[in-house]
Structure 1
Amino acid sequence: MRHVLRSDLRQRLQEESRSLSAAQSHCHVHVLIPVYCLHLNIKPLLLLLGQDPVVSDMASQYILIFMPGVFFDYTFLVLARYLQTQNRVYPPLICAFIGNVFNAVSQYIAIYVLGFQYEASAACQAASLFVMCACIIAYIRVSGVYEDTWDGWTIEALYDIGGFVRLAVPGLMLVALEEVSFEIGTFVAGSISTLQLAAQGIVFQAAVLSYMVSLGMSIAVNIRVGQHIGAKQIEKAKHTYKVAVTMILTTSTILCILFSTCQSFVANLFTSDPVVRDATAELMTIYAPFPYVDGLSATASGVLKGSGRQFIGAVVNLIAYYAVAIPIGIPLSLLTKMEIRGFWVGLLIGLSFETVVFWIIIWRTNWEKEVLVAASRVAGTKAAKTSSAPLDAENASLLPRQNHIRRASRIYSTPYESDIEFDVSRPAKLPPLRPVLIRRCVTWLCLLMFMVAAIVLRAYQDVYLSFYWRELCLLQPLNASIGVNLTYCGGVAPH
């Protein structure tokens, strides 16, 4: 009976943790405001980085129309993780597939059938994210999966934001630092020539597609390792990432052969220009070994995230890309005849460094300690401590479905000798609500002020950029396929 109570308590604590984490994720929707501020004023930043004025203007208009999609994408990702932690991986996959089919069909109709311009592409992209978000919300509602893992919007979601942020921010940096470093290559290529920019764009798209294999493996490892650590199944956690490594090496071999032998074929999928095709084929030769190091790095990243060590991963990521890859890649691109190929060489060196360091960290991991840390995190305490109340049916019935925070701790003999035991104390008293509400309101007020400032800057963008157009004073036709001419002389800015 005691074993049954321990098992039920463990499961219900995990459900409460999922519910609270999901609520806190939605409370953090305000992190989108800085993203919106950047999107509203992306054109001055692109011009400052030396990008083509026409390309900068088109990118600014595209992002402006796409902006609603950012919220739908955020919501979909939060709900997808909410389902994946419950071993429901197919519903998010199906929802994403539906959204992608909608995107492909709507893009074709808007561009090729109705003859709309690139602005329609942005609208279709945002609409596809809305479809994905609507589908996953509909599934959660109809399936009733939320009934055991969602207690509704509770006041607890406003508390312990620090603990949530300490995991969320390093996790964000672990992904964002890598993505930004690859995006820097686009700016470098744009500053060299339009030919290099075209080749960079094609190879980058091919890299994104091949990275989906690594990303899927990373997500799977993240979830499974986290679950096994939470269940104190150390050997299963190790077996998970060993299987993942075997699978990623197999798929990486296939991708490496494809990119090594079929460069022209892959380039033909994106362009019919022979000059661009040749430049793309040369660059793809440099990219060919990337699936190996990228896959191993992504798998290791999943292990680190699954064991709650996002901060370590973020630090290694920062060093690998911004102290190794970019300092090597940019000089090779701008100061040698390698051009954009030099940047990818730098990325390859940095990514290889990151992969080696990640696996050294995993090899030296004390898994027993990680189990203890994970247990204390789920229980809501900083350390596993013994409370005064014994575990019985009366105390267990008080646990997680009540709308207040409780403290629970797990007592371990050794990680291999016995099952986890819980001792439950009386419900902890919440801190005063007023200071918490004040802090949250001040945060929202500051962010809204930034948003208003960004909107004002966007509205008067042509005014404070007029000096740039007067200095530039050129007449440059837009892409002939669009059939529009723009004049920048006389202080007339593009619209």
Structure 2
Amino acid sequence: MDDAIQEKLLKYSGQECDLKGRICQESKKIWRVALPGVISRVSAFGTVVVTQSFVGHISSVDLAGYALVQSLLLRFVNGILIGMSSATETLCGQAFGAKQHHMMGIFLQRSWFVDLITMTILLPAFLFATPIFKLLGEDETIAKSAGHISLWFIIYCYGLVFSLTIQMYLQAQQKNMVIAWLSIMQFVIHIPLSWLFVNVLGFGINGAMGSLCTSLWFVVFGEFIYLFGGWCADSWKGFTVAALKDVLPVVKLSISSGLMICLEMWYYAILVLVAGYMKDAEVAISAFSVCTNINGWEFMICLGLLGAACVRVANELGRGDAKAVTFSIKVVLSTSVALGVFFWILCLVFGRKIGYVFSNDENVAQTVSDLSILLAFSVLFNSIYPVLSGVAVGAGLQGTVAILNVVCYYLIGLPIGLVLGYVTNLQVKGLWVGMLCGVIAETLALSLMMWRINWDEEVLKASARLKRWYLETPDEAIQATNPA
């Protein structure tokens, strides 16, 4: 009897050690992708937030104008570009898992082609920002400031086209540490450059926006040097007309990806717009924008884990290992939730002091303080649903998530926010409660979706997609014509 018990204990002990080993191994794979992604996203978003801080100390009108452009136009365009670029993440991740390395460079070029055309189509939104904001009923002085600032964001957004797609291409093959270093240098350069342009040379808004654009294009040129300099020899074979083949299927997947991210990011943008119709619009817009930026900054960390979830799921689907997919999902989700709890505590402790970092206006700082508890819970839920979205991107299920976004954000969250904000007179606080309700609904819907997915079927779908879009390398073509 004692021998039997001892044998069972040894067996369970061995299983526990094996499980710990698997978790450690999977965590290393996740953080190899996530850490550079977190650093790059936090640094990139940090430059936007730092610019907001410099603008806020120039004037409250320019702060409100910047908040409108950054929260509405930039989120609108950024959502489309990030979403459409996530098609690169899906295809490159699965191609890397299937060892079709040469296809990754082709997928990258297709994404450049599609995203550049998309950005050009979106230009009128920036060129006619002032009349658009006036038409939406915003204050005239704020609309004029926003119109001037929006012109600078054109340069910024064209840089995003290359920065986002190259980052996802490198991330899929676990070579994105270079992005982390470039992003750190971007942030380090941006702060003194902003101080020089705004405080020393007195360039004002032009100085703040010029610094923002300069720091982003520094990253873009660094990425080009890495890409064309031979550090991606297996996956980058130079420019090719093959990238123009099968563009329509990529466009279809890109549109699904774009809708998925856009519907999520536009949700926050619409709430900022609605805040502009409330009492003391200047304070409401500024305070709401500050809180969404803090929420967004933490969200950048979760986006790093979203990228890791996407890459790990796509890689394992490309390899055809369904069990590895489910195990990876459990590990990355547990990691993200632990981080979410940590930042939730930070927001609860320091929430009442955050507003003073972004504005000297006592009313703005106090409104931010009033929203601090709701902000803390938004940060907590940020740690769950982005990871589940990343899993969906890795599997190519962006279209399904887009539908969930419509229902949860626009049919649940937005109506609740409008009712609480206007009917019950809770103002900005009511809007945020509605936003939180939409986020909770999205979290529950994605959790149910993940629970019901048959990953063996997703492996077959990924394999079929890769075979359908596969193009032979020159060596394979020669071998096929001359088998001897």
Establish whether TM, by shorter chain, passes 0.5: yes
Shift of 1:18: 0.8
Residue 402 of structure 1: aligned partner: 474
Q: Do residues 68 (structure 1) and 140 (structure 2) align?
A: no
Alpha carbons of structure 1 residues 315 and 405: separation in structure 2 relative to 1, 3 Å: farther
Q: CA deviation at 1:11?
A: 7.3
Residue in structure 1 matching 2:442, options 340, 351, 354: 354
Partner of 1:461: none
Select which of 337, 342, 349 maps to 1:249.
337
Distance 1:405 1:329, change over 3 A: farther
Specify the alignment match of 2:403 in structure 1: 315
Q: CA deviation at 1:426?
A: 8.1
Structure 1 contact 202–280 (Cα < 8 Å) conserved: yes
Partners of 1:405 and 1:31 lie apart in 2 by 34
Read off the aligned partner of 2:447 and give its amino acid letter. W
Within 1, Cα distance between the matches of 2:160 and 2:376?
30
Deviations 1:468-490 (A, max 9, x none): xxxxxxxxxxxxxxxxxxxxxxx
Deviation at 1:351, TM superposition (A): 1.1
CA gap of 1:426–1:333, structure 2 versus 1, over 3 A, is farther
Match of 2:276 in 1: 190
CA deviations on 1:353-407 (whole Å, 9 max, x unpaired) are: 111111111111111110011111111269xxxxxxxxxxxxxxxx83229999x
**1:343 lines up with 2:415 in the alignment:** no
Task: Give percent identity, aligned residues only.
Answer: 23
d(CA) in 1 for partners of 2:477, 2:128: 42
Question: How many corresponding residue pairs?
Answer: 385
Tell me if the contact between 2:355 and 2:368 (Cα under 8 Å) persists in the aligned partners. Answer: yes
Contact residue 304 and residue 313 of structure 1 kept, 8 A: yes
After superposition, residues 443-458 of structure 1 pair within 5 angstroms as none
Does 2:468 correspond to 1:380? yes
Give the secondary-structure state (helix, strand or coil) at the position aligned to 2:232.
helix
User: Which residue does 2:188 correspond to in 1?
Assistant: 101
- The structure richer in helix per residue is 2
Match of 2:51 in 1: none
| Aligned-residue RMSD, C-alpha | 2.3
- How far did residue 350 of structure 1 move? 1.0
Alignment partner of 1:124 is 2:211: yes
- Which residue number corresponds to residue 452 of structure 1? none
Match of 2:365 in 1: 277
CA distance in structure 2 between the partners assigned to 1:316 and 1:354 by the alignment: 7
Question: Kindly tell me: are residues 134 and 313 of structure 1, through their superposed partners in 2, closer, same or farther at Cα, counting changes over 3 Å?
Answer: same
SS, match of residue 374 in structure 1: helix
1:173 to 2:268 alignment? no
1:303 aligns with 2:391: yes
Matched residues in 1 for 2:444 and 2:176: separation? 30
Query: Partner amino acid for 1:110?
Result: F
Once the two structures are TM-superposed, the CA of residue 342 in structure 1 deviates from its matched residue by 1.0
Q: CA deviation at 1:90?
A: 0.9
Paired with 1:245 and 1:10, the residues of 2 have a C-alpha distance of 23
What CA deviation, in whole Å up to 9, does each residue of 1:135-184 have, x standing for no partner? 11112233x13322123332222221121112211111111111111011
Once residues 96 and 136 of structure 2 are traced to their aligned partners in structure 1, the CA distance between those partners, rounded to angstroms, is 53
Whole-angstrom CA distance in 2 between matches of 1:251 and 1:126: 31
Q: Which amino acid aligns with 1:261?
A: V
Give, in angstroms, the shift of residue 267 of structure 1: 2.1
Q: Give the TM-score normalised by the residue count of structure 1.
A: 0.74
- 3-state SS in 2 of match to 1:262: helix
Query: After TM superposition, what 4+ stretches of structure 1 lie above 6 angstroms from structure 2?
Result: 9-12, 403-406, 424-427
Matched, 1:24 2:96: no
**Residues 126 and 154 of structure 2 are in contact (CA less than 8 Å); yes or no, is this contact kept in structure 1?**
yes
TM-score by length of 2: 0.75
Distance 1:233 1:12 in 2: 11
Letter in 1 for 2:254: A
Cα distance, 1:153–1:333 mapped onto 2, change above 3 Å: same
Q: 1:160 aligns with which of 233, 246, 250?
A: 246
Letter aligned with residue 332 of structure 1:
L
Q: CA deviation at 1:207?
A: 0.9
1:211 and 1:335 mapped to 2: Cα distance?
A: 30
Larger Rg: 1
**1:15 and 2:89 correspond:** no
Q: Which amino acid aligns with 2:247?
A: I
Residue of 457, 466, 475 corresponding to 1:369: 457
* Counterpart amino acid of residue 91 in structure 1: V
